[in-house]
Structure 1
Amino acid sequence: MVGVVQVQSIPKGTREFEEKRAAISRAFSEKVPKEYSLPEDLITNPPTDVSKIPSTCGILTPGELEITENYDAVGLAEAIANQTYTAVAVATAFAKRAIIAHQLTCCLTQWYMKEAIEQAKQLDEYLAKNGKTIGPLHGVPGTYSSQGCFSSTVKDEKDSQMVAILRSLGAVFYCKTNQPQSIMHLETTGHYGRTLNPFNITLSAGGSTGGEAALIAMKGSVLGVGTDIGGSIRGPSAFCGIYGFKPTTYTLPMKDFLPTPFSAELNVLCSTGPMCRSLRDMNLFMSGIVGAKPHLLDPRLIPIPWTGLQTPVSKPLKVGIINNDGFIEPQPPVKRAIAWAKERLSDPKYVEFLQIKDFKPYAAAEAWSKIRRMYWPDGGKMTKDAITSSGEPVLPLTEWIMKDAEPLGMLTAEDVNQARRGRDNFRCAFAESWQEQDVDVVIGPAFVGPACAHETAFYWTYTSLYNFVDYPGAVFPTPIKAEAKEEYAAGYVPLSDACKHVKELWEVSNFEGAPIDLQINARKYHDNELFGALELLKGVLNLG
């Protein structure tokens, strides 16, 4: 059996369920060559920071280290196109690094190196025969995340629309990454195990797309796909110090993502988007997917042409800075990151094209209360039934996110209708507040802190707010990292009971080494303008 680092146990289910889990682990292990296994003593006694182990463990060749460490998706595609590397060499390097990353963080659910190399061979043959690549992602290794509880597992007979587009662009698929039970945690914990943060394994890698974030942070991938209905792209990307983008809904295709509909989307729509190593990777992904005209096959999609980083921006760009949302004061390293960004943006040399002002999000506490109920118009019954039907235990964070809605039970159609009215009234009030504060984009926290300690991902308020109002948002790395023994400011006064709880959580855990991302948001359907702003801010904020 291939060993996988786990630092905290997960509640056990019935004997039959645990036997099924064990069978999954055995089947996974049987596909992994012995020479790719890490030493047992490393698995049982790992360092807190495992991010450097892939480059020092000796499993990867110098050439494979160069491939996996020195390129983003754009650079890798160029290197394959000019034949610096073959697609086979790239697929081999990333598949090997992915399985190393999995042993250290439990980031994968499936790994299919053999199939990836076969696909890469076909791409190399195409390039040799035609003298050009099959598409902009020719030979670029990509990943795609699977869904929640054991009983929801299905064998897909065909690609979803998104995967079909990525495949047509030349992307190579070699693994699937871990997600949490119910796909509704900001921590990735489920029947495949608990995904760990590469920079501090006592912390979460985020969720729901936490396996993806950990894999990219470990340089086992350059580009992956996440989904986001409360922060599931932005949260894990921020926890792991990478780039992630949640577009406005119905911008990118989600056709055939889920075999059954999710009732939360009666009022809170899900979005899909890229997780990657650079700003230009996000742009490459958006350009490729939108350029494939997915709206021709899915009439729900809005055919907005992608101009991305080339979008002109009116100057001065008006940037709002969020110090707190009026509900939860961010933990100390996030405060330092905001101060870092504000200081750089306020430099007098940028005054001709930047106007910086403080911004206060409208009614963040109200949005959090409303969205938690709207996630579960059935009171969570369908999800809980699906989980327990296989003997799987309902995990604590699943209970947590459902607890406000569960007592209400199954809502009537009129209940849902009234909830929608409340949502739309809130959206209008939010837009009015944004307009009154007169900003083009806002920059603020991506989460209440750095990556949270395991089983404490309680408050997603800084991301879920933008799902509720359906505004696009991206997260980007900063040079700030959490330090040992950081303390709250002496004059701290809690903004709410939740705020007080967040401080208590800070004081009982070790966050040292955790990276800090910040979030940038724009108005609904202003996705292109958001990227135009990012291009303008690239030099100011050292965006890669």
Structure 2
Amino acid sequence: MSPRKSIPVLEPVPIPRGTAEHEAARKSILEDFAASIPDDLQLLSQDYLDAAPKNVLSAPRQCGLLSPEELAITEDYDATALAKAVAARELTAVQVATAFAKRAIIAHQLTSCLSEWFLDEALERAAALDAHLAATGRTVGRLHGVPVSIKAHIPIAGHWSDGGSLSTRKRDEEDCQMVRILRDAGAVFYCKTNQPQSVMHLESTSYLGRVLNPYNTGLSAGGSTGGEAALVALRGSVLGVGTDIGGSVRAPAAFCGVYGFKATTHTFPTKRFVGRGLPTELNIMPSAGPLCHSLRDMDLFTATVLAAKPYLEDPRIVPIPWTGLSTPRSSTGPLKIGFMMHDGVITPQPPVTRALEWARSRLEEHPSRFEIKTFEPYGTAKAVRNIRLAYYPAGVGDVQQALEDGGEPMYPLTEWILRDASARGPLSAAEVFDLRCERDEFRGEFAAHWTAQDVDLVICPAFVGPACVHETAWYWNYTALWNYVNCPGISVPTPIVAGKKGEEEYGPGEPLGEECRHVRELWAVGDFEGAPVSLQIVARKHHDNELFAGLAALKDVLGLV
């Protein structure tokens, strides 16, 4: 018998090792993955691994594995343009699926971004869509022929999902509601993407490997939707689906310089994303959302999903009509923008402050269109403390047991997010109720604070820095705050990029506290060169349409696409 195939993948910082049984199971899964990859799509040699550059963004173009036509398909279109090109028969769904599937497997070898890859199934689906269009002259829906990547825990019929550990890995028998809606709209599924152990890190490290940031492989791609973010950044996906309960769409999108949208909870369907659900949903609901290359793709995704009337199947969903980027302004005066330069706990690292100042100065050049204010922070430390307890009302036993069942070591960032709940233990029903009352009281106070600030939107950091060095994703303040108050938010790229180590220092002023001091120390010792800097734009709860109206107004001034 010939030895089983393996595919080299960049791994500058290895993941922790488990028991012999766990490592054998990992090895078998990785070999099965490798067996699905044709030999002519193997990218990396040991020589490349030994001398790999920090920035791997150009590797898909330079590797020689993609034809000029495939490079054009993957680089020159967003999802909206691809849908139009396929509908107009300028491209076939098969051509598009082939190009993105090939680029996705190249991206995986550079960043460990995938959990599964299924080219043959994608091509079969794409061929059926082409045949339908040829026979009827009509597309099946708004996403006809558009390749869509899906985060690992979200069920797709016939494919693997897991709840953040090897022992929870299972093959799903049917699509979840979200996937079915996208499939009915014409989407072509071709891969699933890596996520963290426990699905609760801002770094995607799992038994499948560590996802790397393609701008600087010494940095995290974010989490828990980090595989999607790295894949989209490398143009191995034009549209990906993730989830966000503490920053898991917005932070990785920001780390990797792509667009990411977290809606108000109960906007998108999340039914059967993780079995029957999680105890955290007693007080903090997850949101779903897209990662992509343009504002209009976020709009297209949202319009497509909500047009299916998902509330008819899941009555938790609030049936708010979607108008998106076409939403009319509710007032005729300037759009009121509040800049939150820090959250009262941690001053962001220098490139993030530079991006905030850049955006503020650009908007101040148009006083007839924008009224610029400073948005004062409110209660961040309390919100972050409370949300950490709310994530695990039933305690951490289920996570610990799942790891023990698989002989899987607990990763450092898993231990970190479990720390507060581990110390407190399972909560009683009365204690869970107390957390809910405290949450709702805080939300009311925060809403009043927003009203007193008199702004339509808030622009703030998406993270304490441009990205973080591996194993240092500890500070979720800038995203988790908005989960706690359930406001919709979007990460958008800026032209600001982190420079070489030592080139940029903090401005005057003392740290706001010990966490702020620690973040300054991380900046001093880390190598963030080349990391993109994104900003977060936030609206009030259930003002998702108004958020997109604001984006439409900001688009040209901030250079958004």
Aligning the two structures, in what range does the TM-score lie when normalised by the shorter sequence?
A: over 0.9
Q: Which residue of 1 aligns with 2:41?
A: 36
**Within 1, Cα distance between the matches of 2:323 and 2:492?**
20
SS in structure 1 at match of 2:301: helix
Q: Which residue of 1 aligns with 2:343?
A: 325
SS in structure 2 at match of 1:312: coil
Find out whether 1:377 has 2:393 as its counterpart.
yes
Q: What amino acid is the match of 1:73?
A: A
Find out whether 1:159 has 2:175 as its counterpart.
yes
Find out whether 1:393 has 2:399 as its counterpart.
no
Find out whether 1:435 has 2:458 as its counterpart.
no
**Within 2, Cα distance between the matches of 1:395 and 1:143?**
26
SS in structure 2 at match of 1:196: coil
**Within 1, Cα distance between the matches of 2:84 and 2:379?**
46
Q: Which residue of 2 aligns with 1:102?
A: 108
User: CA contact under 8 A between 2:132 and 2:139: conserved in structure 1?
Assistant: yes
Report Cα offsets for 1:121-148 as digits up to 9, x if no partner.
0000001001121111010000111131
**Within 1, Cα distance between the matches of 2:503 and 2:426?**
45
Q: What amino acid is the match of 1:522?
A: A
Residue 56 (structure 2) aligned to one of 50, 66, 80: 50
Report Cα offsets for 1:331-387 as digits up to 9, x if no partner.
01001100100000100xx22221110001211111111111111112322112112
User: CA contact under 8 A between 2:44 and 2:109: conserved in structure 1?
Assistant: no
User: CA contact under 8 A between 1:107 and 1:211: conserved in structure 2?
Assistant: yes
Residue 3 (structure 1) aligned to one of 5, 8, 21: 8
Q: What amino acid is the match of 2:527?
A: N
Report Cα offsets for 1:417-460 as digits up to 9, x if no partner.
01111111110110010000101100010000011000000001
Find out whether 1:142 has 2:160 as its counterpart.
no
Q: What amino acid is the match of 1:334?
A: V
**Within 2, Cα distance between the matches of 1:379 and 1:512?**
39
User: CA contact under 8 A between 1:379 and 1:407: conserved in structure 2?
Assistant: no
Find out whether 1:254 has 2:270 as its counterpart.
yes
Q: What amino acid is the match of 2:263?
A: P
Residue 280 (structure 2) aligned to one of 264, 270, 295: 264
Residue 20 (structure 1) aligned to one of 18, 25, 30: 25
**Within 1, Cα distance between the matches of 2:477 and 2:238?**
28
**Within 2, Cα distance between the matches of 1:427 and 1:465?**
10
SS in structure 1 at match of 2:240: strand
Find out whether 1:81 has 2:87 as its counterpart.
yes
Find out whether 1:404 has 2:409 as its counterpart.
no
Report Cα offsets for 1:35-79 as digits up to 9, x if no partner.
101141213331100011000100000000000000000011111
SS in structure 2 at match of 1:264: helix
Residues paired across the two proteins, number:
542
Residue 516 (structure 2) aligned to one of 499, 502, 517: 499
User: CA contact under 8 A between 1:196 and 1:202: conserved in structure 2?
Assistant: yes
User: CA contact under 8 A between 1:14 and 1:392: conserved in structure 2?
Assistant: yes
Q: Which residue of 2 aligns with 1:62?
A: 68
Q: State the Cα distance separating 1:488 from its structure 2 match.
A: 2.8
Q: What amino acid is the match of 2:549?
A: G
Structure 1 segments unaligned to the other structure (5+ residues): none
Report Cα offsets for 1:266-303 as digits up to 9, x if no partner.
11110001110000000000000011100001111110
User: Are the structure 2 counterparts of residues 39 and 418 from structure 1 closer, same or farther at C-alpha, using a change threshold of 3 Å?
Assistant: closer
**Within 2, Cα distance between the matches of 1:63 and 1:531?**
33
**Within 2, Cα distance between the matches of 1:125 and 1:382?**
47
Q: State the Cα distance separating 1:490 from its structure 2 match.
A: 4.7
Map of 1:93-492 to 2, 5 A cutoff? 93-147=99-153, 148-313=164-329, 314=331, 315-347=333-365, 350-484=366-500, 485-492=502-509
SS in structure 1 at match of 2:558: coil
Q: What amino acid is the match of 2:188?
A: V
Q: What amino acid is the match of 2:61?
A: S
Return structure 1 stretches of 4+ with deviation > 6 angstroms: none
**Within 1, Cα distance between the matches of 2:44 and 2:411?**
31
Structure 2 segments unaligned to the other structure (5+ residues): 1-5, 154-163
User: Are the structure 2 counterparts of residues 490 and 286 from structure 1 closer, same or farther at C-alpha, using a change threshold of 3 Å?
Assistant: closer
**Within 2, Cα distance between the matches of 1:247 and 1:358?**
24
Percent pairwise identity: 55
TM-score w.r.t. the length of structure 1 is 0.99
Q: What amino acid is the match of 1:330?
A: P
Residue 515 (structure 1) aligned to one of 511, 522, 532: 532
Q: What amino acid is the match of 1:328?
A: I
User: CA contact under 8 A between 2:349 and 2:506: conserved in structure 1?
Assistant: no
Q: State the Cα distance separating 1:118 from its structure 2 match.
A: 0.4
**Within 2, Cα distance between the matches of 1:197 and 1:229?**
21
Q: Which residue of 1 aligns with 2:159?
A: none
Report Cα offsets for 1:216-271 as digits up to 9, x if no partner.
00000100101000000000000000000000000110111111421111111100
SS in structure 2 at match of 1:208: coil
Q: Which residue of 1 aligns with 2:541?
A: 524
**Within 1, Cα distance between the matches of 2:485 and 2:503?**
34
**Within 1, Cα distance between the matches of 2:557 and 2:70?**
33
Q: What amino acid is the match of 1:406?
A: S
User: CA contact under 8 A between 2:214 and 2:230: conserved in structure 1?
Assistant: yes
SS in structure 2 at match of 1:442: strand
Q: What amino acid is the match of 1:6?
A: E
Q: State the Cα distance separating 1:486 from its structure 2 match.
A: 3.3
Q: What amino acid is the match of 1:269?
A: M
Q: What amino acid is the match of 1:81?
A: A
Q: What amino acid is the match of 2:29?
A: I
Q: Which residue of 2 aligns with 1:91?
A: 97
Q: What amino acid is the match of 2:41?
A: Y
Q: Which moved more, 1:375-384 or 1:160-169?
A: 375-384
SS in structure 1 at match of 2:459: strand
**Within 2, Cα distance between the matches of 1:316 and 1:242?**
28
**Within 1, Cα distance between the matches of 2:316 and 2:491?**
26
**Within 2, Cα distance between the matches of 1:346 and 1:363?**
28
Q: State the Cα distance separating 1:17 from its structure 2 match.
A: 0.4
The two structures, once aligned, show a CA RMSD in angstroms of 0.8
Q: State the Cα distance separating 1:394 from its structure 2 match.
A: 0.6
User: CA contact under 8 A between 1:325 and 1:462: conserved in structure 2?
Assistant: yes
User: Are the structure 2 counterparts of residues 430 and 486 from structure 1 closer, same or farther at C-alpha, using a change threshold of 3 Å?
Assistant: farther
SS in structure 1 at match of 2:10: coil
Q: State the Cα distance separating 1:389 from its structure 2 match.
A: 1.2
